[in-house]
Structure 1
Amino acid sequence: MTSPKTPTSFKDRIRKSVTLIVLLVVSAVLTLIELGHPLELFLRAARNSFQKMPVSGEMVVVGVDDEALSSLGPWPWKHAHMAGLTERLFAEGANRVFFLTPLTDQGESRNRLLADTFARHPGRVFVSAKADYRSGPKEMTYILPPDIVRDEAQTVSLARYVAFWGGLSKVPYKTEISGQALDSIESVLSGVYGNTQESFSINYAFDSSTVPYASAADVLTGKTKTNAFRGKDVLVGFNDPSLGDQLRVLGQGNKSSTSTVVVLAAETLKRGRPLQLGWLPGWLFAAGIAACLLSPRMKRGKRLLMLGAVVTLLVVPGVLERFNIFMDIMGGMTLLFLTGICVLWRRFGAQEKKGGTINPVSGLFTPNAIRHEDRLDGRQLVAARIRRYAEMVSALPPEAERLLVKEIVARLELGAGGAQLYHGDDGNFFWLSNLYDHDLLIEQFTALHVIFRSPIRFARNSFDVDISFGVDREFDLPVSHRLTSALAAAHSAEQDGTRWRLHDPSQISEKEWNLSLLGELDDALDAGKIWVAYQPKMDLYSKELLGAEALVRWTHETRGPVSPLEFVEMAERHGRIDRLTDFVLNDALKVAKTVLLTKPEFRISVNISPSLLTSHDIMDTVKAALDRHQVPPSCLILEVTETHAIAQNETPSLLMAEFRDMGIGLSIDDYGTGLSTLEYLRKIPATELKIDRRFTQDICENKADRAVMKSTIQLAHALGMKAVAEGIETLEVLSLLARMGCDTGQGYYIARPMDAKAFLARMAAEAEQLRHG
């Protein structure tokens, strides 16, 4: 009795094992791309708010605040003020003094005054060095005090990335700046050191409001409390919002000065070297829970186990943070969430899926059974429609409908050649014909018409049954998509009074239009009806227009503007794409040559069809265009799409490498859509990553889109590429992208596409404006 169950049980175990593997892979990928990072921050903030604790008081912040600026004037202050502040702090017993404010070059005499002051306190004065990452990690600039000042003080690192949420997620122990590995200011304050590859998380459970504070104005005028600085380390930094330098403190609902956050980070290290567990322990714990939940042996207690696992992941990190141990939980939470969905689907979704797949009258499968499979099938799909079915059923008592349907099914089975019949509503039947020859299928329809000529008789009733057929042959679509097409063809046959109708997805008028359009394409190029629009691209750091994308346009004499998607695809299918590309390329380089006279850093982007990268002819076309217009290759960027097909072929990869060697830029267009993946990103020698507009438009409101955008920008920079965002339509989006470190942007807020004359006028006006300040 057990043997019949064994194969089913084995298959069930295999299926659940595969499900578990898929859940593990999906959750790991979502965790690695930090899709759940915003929620991770929210949970950490919640834990911080529940377990606030005061700082040790061993460090004091002296702020350049509104009061100090009112007393001593706007920033930057003269070095004489900073020298006086230094002497005053040491006179009041400060142990060490750390300057977080930038100490700029103010000339030899003023620099010497400050250096001499520092020299009187050897080993006790520290100045900070920063790295400006806004241009990307490979083009960063360094902000350092003058050499003479650094000679008399110790230099510490204040370089770190500000996360997308406006605060610091990690702090490096040591940073290499100008060829020198500098310890972070937090390491020096705490005495806990590491190397340049290591970083630590800040314990934001320390209450920022408990950090001792004094205004620089009170220090200079002697108004501070007695022994306020005795034996303590003093951090001098900005504390006025007008000077910037404000960071969010996770879980405390406010912004604080960088100095305050440095104190919190140093307090973290003072409690011991933090242990970073990352996301793997929580994920492995969730993997064990998922394996139990998906196990065929576990029949009860799933809800309790899931609840216990969630509570454990929420509570344990807070306990560990008390011991300076940090753990991310979103990897595990994501896996539990996906597992919960899977368990619920098996419990409820499977039942729902089965519902509606059996017709209660005939006992046959309904079309829903096909829709649930959503598969491809190379057979012709037939829809049979019984005319006046509703009228016949309404004339019968309820129990007689089953007999009528039984007779109809019997006749259809005679002509369907053994194919599986599906019974829909209102007298609709479907089957996938085993006849691959279309002529034989038509003969089958004729035979069925003969069969249905005989009236259906039972009891005292007699019905003449007419039938019409529809056929769908779109084999590249799932069968579930073809049901409606076949039924629509059967309806058309019924209305026309014909036996059958083949579904034709394209209309005759559209075919005629496409043929006409193709014939006019070459003439339109010669007549100037096809032209090039230019959409400016803005450097999001300098806010200058330093590039543009060339976009092909066609204004038809009778139909007006023709969609580029329509005629570009047609040109590609019918061998016109090379000429169209040559036209756009030459027009773009002619415009670029004019702009380069005033903006040598200008770059023009031209789209290249993947089909052109299968032949070396495109290389000759590009070289000829560059020679014709006498412009450097570095001014040109070629944008490519369909990276999947390109990365799988050797020729396109070799051609793109040759373009790179020439100095031409390569852009991966519409990244994040279609089949663009990290594997293809690694194989394609691109210089910039163009992020699709769907990830840009909602980043101000959608935390998930914001996280994806931030991680994609960081990925581009890590691979040595520029990050370009499309679809910028508001000032808020532009500002947020700039803060995220995005290099370039384009969209309607910056400028809409315009013709060459308007574009050149716009660039000339901007150049004139820059010349006059």
Structure 2
Amino acid sequence: MPFLSVQPGASAPRGKRKLLAWLVFLSFFIGIAEIGEPLELGMRAAQFKIRAQAASGRIVAVGLDDRAFATLGSWPWKRDKVAQLTDDLMASGADRIFFTIPFPPLDQQGDRIFADTIAKYPGRVFLTAAMDYRTGETAGTPVFPAPIIARNAAIVSKMKWIEFWNGTATMPYGQNIAGRYYTSIWTEIAGVDTKSTDQFPVDYSYRQSSIPYHSVSEIMSARPGTVDLQGKSVIVGHNSNAFSNFEYILGQGRTADLFVTALGAETLRGGAPQSWGWMPAWCFALAIAAFCFLGRWTKLVGPVSAGALVVLFVAPIMLQNMGIFIDVAPAFVLAASIAITAAWQRYGARKQSLGAINPVSGLPTVNAILHRDELDPQILVAARISRFTEIVSTLPPEHERELLGQVVSRLSLGVGRLQLLHGDDGNFFWLMPGEQLAGAVDQFKALQLIFRNSIAVQDKSFTVDIAFGVDQEVDRPLSHRLASALAAAKAAADQGTCWKIHDPAANGAQQWALSLLGELDQAIDNGHLWVAYQPKMELASRRIIGAEALARWTHATRGPIGPDEFIQVAERHGRIEKLTAFVLNDAARVGAEAMRQDPDFCISVNISSALLASRNIIDMVRQALAANAFPAANLILEVTETAAMAEGRVAIALLEELRDMGVRLSIDDYGTGMSTLEYLRSIPATELKIDKQFSMALQSSAEDQAVVQSTIELAHALGMIVVAEGIETAETLYLLDQMGCEIGQGYHICRPTDWETILTMIPAPARIVANG
């Protein structure tokens, strides 16, 4: 029976309808499940850039920034200073003032002064309320200003949902907090009168750079009348990297929350926008798909599908100018699929036919299967001839055809009328009905006996063996079953048996481990393995002075793979050296870039204990430093005290040599191992890192406070500086600063991010002095 009967490029109507149904279902699922949001965000960012426009100028941002803290002292300020700021803003002509910062109880006298100041401007000073969802999305805690302050102020909501890309695409008109409705701050600024909790899309075509901005220090140090805020709404909020209130604006990058608030208000000032969702654009794409797949105008499929893509990009821009926002990702996927299918039918099918016949044996090749991602109810048989490539390598090219002729003749005795396919390196395949497998076992044994007779080619004689593998997983595409059948044949040959059935359940976990190991080298080369950087802050000045390099793997099909998983595999199978060299080189490169802004900027890199058993680590560090012109004094290598001591004197000697090179050393995860004073004295470290489990418990555990305080004092006595991990709240940061901890890192400061973002967070020393 013939194996393939459909000519290249031919497409039956039923096949077209089936493909159309799958594409429609896929695009509809993308719309329902919202998994096309990354594509949507990318397209909308481009549309905003095309529509870029200036803000109205009626909304002014006043920032509590580094300049203000250098001039007026670090945050939090006493409330009498905030009261003075309120008076200064009103004296400059502000119509209304909106504070986005929280005002919990601080000191009674200062709170009373601020409350009395607000009372002087009834209905013109607005404070914000919100919900704290750190305990979970369904159980939040209302957060209001101190009662003595709130009684004289108008209260608005500042709540909005931050999405996975660390930004917000929509904002609510208002929010119910503790059983009461509060108008959102952007709604109040824009003067929209509503009691709705609906969301509206934010128009990020307004350039953030066009929003008038003043530092608080500029307001409070200016002579009356110097800053003109006449009749304008003023938003006061944090604008410093010392606070974690930064978000991303589509098409414009990272910015402080007060600018996002201003852009939400600018959106509503231009008229309440409407969101039509994704269905209108999807219905348009569905009509195009029906025309292309079910119509008779095949020559128009390419131009029509390409035109649909253009419309799906341009139409949203025109509608946004009318205050209408539509989502096009599902429609764009459907239209793009049509265009790709049209291109494939025109160009790809022709290419698919190339290589379909082996020129030596004259048999169809496995390309007939590889290009058909479809199911087949028959079982797949693989025949693997041992030493085939070795035999071919000893023959002149003109005699290879004779060898293959004899091999095919012998196989044909067992295959019969079934179509035999020619693979690579002496592998052959065929399909057969499942009910024939029992009888085929006798054929496998008979073929094995036949192949044990020598094959004579010219004056040479060769003895070969053959083994068979069977794949019965008919629920998988044929193209995926080739490797399974061949793996079963190889297993049969290795075990000395005639044939074997592929069993996926027996080696699933082993396959994943082997795949992970095999793909690790490729992941480094093709960019799937990358380095994230978590900023390190000097607690006293709130400056970003360094970063820790952290290896990350975004797998092409499995998504993000946890560092613990692939780092352990790398350590067990000898890949940790290559992985560490990759991280070191990237860290040195980024460090050299950062030093252009701050010559004292340091990069930290974790060192596995497996690297402390040989001198390769010394050469690795030297090469990374030299290749990137990065000074040794700006590199910090982090090693756990347990790992260092486990490798004995060899590790200590290597660490001492690294220190003599000028590299700084850090004792990582202090407190989680068998830490002793002898360990601390033996390791030539300049830095000690307190494990995050102690930092995160500071506010709730007096015992942990005592442990951390004593650890800091011990480190200082040994001449080391102290770094605290796991800082997740402002209160933890404040406590560590008071205890004398020099440096901190954690989610409150910044999550691990890309190196470009790190560079934007580095304040140049010269600029800080000038502003101070």
Scaled by the length of structure 2, what TM-score is found?
A: 0.57
Tell me which moved more, 153-162 or 468-477.
468-477
Q: What's the CA shift for 1:468?
A: 6.0
- List aligned pairs for 1:76-91, cutoff 5 A: 76-91=76-91
Per the TM alignment, residue 269 of structure 1 is displaced from its structure 2 partner at its CA by 0.6
Is this contact kept in 2: 1:127–1:155, CA < 8 A?
yes
Residues 711-770 of structure 1: CA deviation (Å, up to 9, x unaligned): x9xxxxxxxxxxx9965979999xxxxxxxxxxxxx999999999xx9675899948653
Please say which of residues 258-267 and 359-368 is displaced more in the overlay: 359-368
Cα offset, 1:158, TM superposition: 1.1
Q: Greater CA deviation, 365-374 or 37-46?
A: 365-374
Change (3 A) 1:376 1:150: same
Deviations 1:50-94 (A, max 9, x none): 333222233333333455445543333332233333344445543
Matches within 5 A, 1:399-478: 405=405, 416-422=415-421, 431=430, 434=436, 436-437=438-439, 440-441=442-443, 444-445=446-447, 469-473=466-470, 475-476=472-473
Aligned residue pair count = 548
Report Cα offsets for 1:125-169 as digits up to 9, x if no partner: 211123344454235444321112212211101122334444332
Report the CA distance between 1:489 and its aligned residue.
9.0
1:94 alignment partner in structure 2: 94
**Matched ranges for 1:374-389 at <5 A:** 377-378=378-379
Q: Which has the larger radius of gyration?
A: 1
Query: 1:9/1:190 Cα in 2 relative to 1: closer, same or farther (>3 Å)?
Result: same
Tell me the alpha carbon deviations over residues 434-453 of structure 1, each in whole angstroms, 9 at most, x when there is no partner: 46246742675499689x99
User: Are residues 345 and 116 of structure 1, via their aligned partners in 2, closer, same or farther at CA, if it must alter by over 3 Å?
Assistant: same
Contact kept, 8 Å, 2:642 with 2:674, in 1: the verdict is: no
Which residue does 2:123 correspond to in 1? 123
Q: Measure the CA separation in 2 of the matches of 1:234 and 1:408.
A: 86
Given residue 204 of structure 1, which amino acid in structure 2 is its aligned partner? Y
CA distance in 2 between counterparts of 1:129 and 1:764 reads 31
Deviations 1:603-656 (A, max 9, x none): xxxxxxxxxxxxxxxxxxxxxxxxxxxxxxxxxxxxxxxxxxxxxxxxxxxxxx
1:481 paired with 2:500, answer: no
Q: Distance in 2 between matches of 1:709 and 1:453?
A: 51
Query: Deviation string for 1:513-562 (max 9, x for gaps)?
Result: x9xxxxxxxxxxxxxxxxxxxxxxxxxxxxxxxxxxxxxxxxxxxxxxxx
- Quote how far apart the aligned CAs of 1:268 are: 0.7
Tell me what 1:288 maps to. Answer: 287
Change (3 A) 1:278 1:696: farther
- 2:236 paired with 1:236: yes
In 1, distance between residues paired with 2:50 and 2:386? 67
Alignment of 1:161-560 (within 5 A): 161-192=161-192, 197-220=197-220, 223=223, 225=225, 228-243=228-243, 245-253=245-253, 255=255, 257-295=256-294, 297-359=296-358, 364-372=363-371, 377-378=378-379, 405=405, 416-422=415-421, 431=430, 434=436, 436-437=438-439, 440-441=442-443, 444-445=446-447, 469-473=466-470, 475-476=472-473, 480-481=482-483, 484=486, 502-503=498-499
Superposed CA offset, 1:224-282 (max 9, x none): 54793333323232344445544444333462x43333222111111111111233333
Report the Cα distance in structure 2 between the residues aligned to 1:230 and 1:248, rounded to whole angstroms: 30
In structure 2, the CA distance between the partners of 1:321 and 1:469, relative to structure 1 (3 Å rule), is: same
Q: Give the drift of 1:45.
A: 3.0
The answer to whether structure 1 residue 64 and structure 2 residue 60 are counterparts is no
Contact 2:529 2:553 in 1 (8 A): no
Q: Separation in 2 of the partners of 1:26 and 1:335?
A: 8
Number of the residue aligned with 1:553: none
Task: Give the unaligned 5+ runs of structure 1.
Answer: 494-499, 507-513, 515-562, 570-669, 671-693, 713-723, 734-746
> Structure 2 counterpart of 1:150, which letter?
A
Q: 1:24 — aligned with what? A: 24
* Alpha carbons 1:358, 1:366 under 8 Å: kept: yes
Q: Secondary structure at the match of 1:338?
A: helix
Task: Name the amino acid aligned to 1:480.
Answer: L
CA contact (8 A) 2:95 2:232 kept: yes
CA 194–363 in structure 1, closer or farther in 2 if over 3 Å, else same: farther
Name the aligned partner's letter for residue 170 of structure 1: T
SS at match of 1:436: helix
Question: Over aligned residues, Cα RMSD in angstroms?
Answer: 5.6
SS at match of 2:98: strand
> What amino acid sits opposite 1:210 in the alignment?
S
Amino acid at match of 2:468: V
**2:305–2:338: 8 Å Cα contact kept in structure 1?**
no
Shift of 1:336: 3.0
Matched to 1:292, the amino acid is: F
| Alpha-carbon distance in structure 2 between the residues aligned to 1:728 and 1:417 | 48
* Secondary structure of residue in 2 paired with 1:204: coil
Letter in 1 for 2:498: L
1:124 offset after TM fit, Å? 2.4
SS in 1 for 2:438: coil
Q: Which residue of 1 aligns with 2:664?
A: none
Q: Which runs of no fewer than 5 residues in structure 2 stay unpaired? A: 517-526, 534-550, 568-582, 588-606, 609-637, 647-670, 676-690, 698-702, 710-772
Whether 1:160 aligns to 2:95 is: no
Which deviates more, 109-118 or 432-441? Answer: 432-441
Cα distance in 2 for residues equivalent to 1:122 and 1:171: 27
Distance 1:704 1:194 in 2: 44
CA–CA distance in structure 2, aligned partners of residues 706 and 366 of structure 1: 29
What is the SS of the residue equivalent to 1:300?
helix
Amino acid of the structure 2 residue aligned with 1:311 = V
- Report the secondary structure of 2:126's partner residue: strand
Map 1:745-760 to 2 at 5 A. none
Contact in 1 for aligned 2:448/2:465 (Cα 8 Å): no
Superimposed CA distance per residue, residues 546-602 of structure 1 (whole angstroms, 9 cap, x where no aligned partner):
xxxxxxxxxxxxxxxxx9978xx9xxxxxxxxxxxxxxxxxxxxxxxxxxxxxxxxx
What is the SS of the residue equivalent to 1:104? coil
Deviates more, 1:211-220 or 1:102-111: 211-220
1:370-391 deviations in Å (ceiling 9; x for gaps): 5555757447655689999979
For residues 26 and 726 of structure 1, do their structure 2 counterparts lie closer, same or farther at Cα, with a shift above 3 Å needed? farther
Amino acid corresponding to residue 25 of structure 1 in structure 2? F
- Taking the aligned partners of 1:705 and 1:382, their CA distance within structure 2 comes to 33
1:715 is matched with none
Secondary structure of the residue that 2:310 maps to in structure 1? Answer: helix
The structure-2 alpha-carbon separation of the partners of 1:113 and 1:299, relative to structure 1 and needing over 3 Å to count, comes to same
**Contact 1:176/1:196 (8 A) holds in 2:** no
For 2:429 and 2:55, how far apart are their aligned partners in 1? 75
Compare 30-39 and 304-313 and name the one that shifted more. Answer: 30-39
1-structure distance, mates of 2:291, 2:109: 74
What's the offset of the Cα at 1:323? Answer: 2.0
CA offsets per residue over residues 161-209 of structure 1, 9 Å max, x none?
3344443322222123233221101111123255665212221222323
**C-alpha separation between the residues in 1 aligned to 2:396 and 2:529?**
56
> 1:301 is paired with a residue of what secondary structure?
helix
**Distance verdict in 2 for CA 1:199–1:449, change over 3 Å:** closer
Displacement of 1:297 in angstroms is 1.9
* Contact preservation (8 Å) 1:286, 1:309: yes
Relative to structure 1, is the Cα distance of residues 190 and 411 closer, same or farther in structure 2, using a 3 angstrom cutoff?
closer
Query: Residues 170 and 202 of structure 1 are in contact (CA less than 8 Å); yes or no, is this contact kept in structure 2?
Result: yes
What do residues 665-688 of structure 1 show as CA deviations (whole Å, max 9, x unaligned)?
xxxxx9xxxxxxxxxxxxxxxxxx
Q: Is the Cα–Cα contact under 8 Å of residues 384 and 426 in structure 2 kept in the other structure?
A: no
**Counterparts of 1:53 and 1:330 in 2: how far apart (Å)?**
25
